[in-house]
Amino acid sequence: MDIELGPEDLAFREDVRSFFAENAHKAGEDYNVWRLDWFKKARDKGGWDVPKWSAEFGGPGWTPTQHYIWEQETAQATLPWDMPFGIGMIAPIIMAHGNEEQQERFLPDIRGRKVNWCQGYSEPGAGSDLAALKTKAVLSDDGTYYTVNGTKIWTTMAQIADWIFCLTRTDDSGIKQEGITFLLFPMKQEGIEVKPIITLGGAHSVNMVHFTDVKVPVENRIGAEGKGWTYAKGLLQHERTGLAGISRSIVALENLKKQASTVKRGNGSLMDEPTFRAKVAELEIDLMASEFTELRSLASASAGSAPGPESSILKLKGTEIQQRIAKLTVEAGGIYSAAWGKPVGHKFAKGGMGGYLASRAFTIYGGASEVQKDVIAKNVLGLKRSSK
């Protein structure tokens, strides 16, 4: 496999770096003004504000290699805050499976960052086994609207979302993957209750959402009734690759090594201790192996293949690596990590414990590690489920 960048890709990388440097946030500059201006300039670059969109819908139309370069560079640059649910998740679904009216209705506001979206997938009894979802959507007798009842959980940023894309059950007479329908509807309407869930790290980012007789016009259905599972699977494959965070982990591990080098141990630093160095070295080896898996996936995408089981491999290993980096950060901070947010000891120790506690969810959301292992066993190893 050739992983050397050609002249055009090297030029593209320099262009990306120059853009980030020229448009970096300056001290004292109003953040919200800078953020909107950044996206405008990125749009003027030829769709850089929506890097994963196709050229047909105003995106840059990059090659897989250019996307890989972008991920590497964005892991090291400071970009404006951007929620992924609109730009990176529901927009591709609307492009691929929505009708022309839906594309014209939703995509401009998504691109303009005018609407916040959230994802209605997991339920109290259907997390890892998402196909077991029970939130029901019943079509009216005149066929003009659905009535939705049920509960979603771990719904990230539902408290500020304007719209939700939601998997609902419209038929439970067949196998559970069938009869699932993909609906879009506003969050600010009667019958929707959002209850906060405070996570172990003390943050409020996820929620439980209850639907009681929520009316959803039939024109807000994406694609055909009963085909929602097909659309959701495609989204999950792309999401899992992103959640692996290989480029971000490369940067995080380098930062950890620098931080550990500032922690004094005898006549040297923590990085001089054989035990700690061995842990870092093991992480580097696993991270390198994961990066090569990502590059193999890139080569496959360059040949026109869709994401496959390699997305589960990346998600499985990538999230475990993120957790291990977080754990080593707490270890490097030592007793100061226990202060949890208090400005004592090493600067990096302040956020170490919060980051570690938050990282426990990495191997759960987006499909738990057990689910990824099932996918790998079936599609890579060719193992079949027991008939018992």
Question: Which three-class secondary structure string do you get for the chain?
Answer: CCCCCCHHHHHHHHHHHHHHHHCCCCCCCCHHHHHHHHHHHHHHCCCCCCCCCCHHHCCCCCCHHHHHHHHHHHCCCCCCCCCHHHHHHHHHHHHHHCCHHHHHHHHHHHHCCCCCEEEECCECCECCCHHHCCCEEEECCCCCEEEEEEEEECCCCCCCCCEEEEEEECCCCCCCCCCEEEEEEECCCCCEEEEEEECCCCCEEEEEEEEEEEEEEHHHEECCCCEHHHHHHHHHHHHHHHHHCHHHHHHHHHHHHHHHCCCEECCEEHHHCHHHHHHHHHHHHHHHHHHHHHHHHHHHHHCCCCCCCHHHHHHHHHHHHHHHHHHHHHHHHHHHHHHCCCCCCCHHHHHHHHHHHHHCCCCCCCCCHHHHHHHHHHHCCCCCCCCC
**Cα separations (Å) of 363 from 99, 294, 317, 321, 370?**
35, 18, 9, 10, 9
- Position 237 scores a pLDDT of 61
Pairing of strands 145-153, 192-198: unpaired
**For the chain, what is the radius of gyration of the CA atoms?**
22
Q: What is the CATH number of domain 245-379?
A: 1.20.140.10
Distance, CA of 235 to CA of 238 (rounded, Å): 5
The domain 117-226 having CATH identifier 1.10.10.10: the answer here is no
Instruction: Give Dmax (Cα) for the chain.
Output: 80
- Position 1 scores a pLDDT of 45
Length of the chain: 388
pLDDT digits (tens), the chain, 388 positions:
445 778 999 999 999 999 999 999 999 999 999 999 999 999 999 999 999 899 999 999 998 889 889 988 998 898 999 988 999 899 999 999 999 999 999 999 999 999 999 999 999 988 777 889 999 999 999 999 999 999 999 999 999 999 999 999 999 988 888 899 999 999 999 999 999 999 887 889 999 999 999 999 999 999 999 999 988 877 766 565 667 888 899 999 999 999 999 999 989 999 999 999 999 999 999 999 998 888 777 766 666 666 667 788 888 999 999 999 999 999 999 999 988 778 888 888 888 888 898 888 888 887 788 888 888 888 888 887 755 5
Task: Report the predicted TM-score, pTM, of the whole model to 2 decimal places.
Answer: 0.84
- Position 164 scores a pLDDT of 98
Each as own residue / partner, the long-range contacts of residues 277-283 (CB below 8 Å, 24 or more positions apart, any chain) are 279/328, 280/253, 280/256, 280/328, 283/253, 283/321, 283/324, 283/325, 283/328
Domain range list for the chain:
7-82, 117-226, 245-379
Question: Each residue of 227-239: b (16+ CB within 10 Å) or e?
Answer: bbbebbeebbbbb
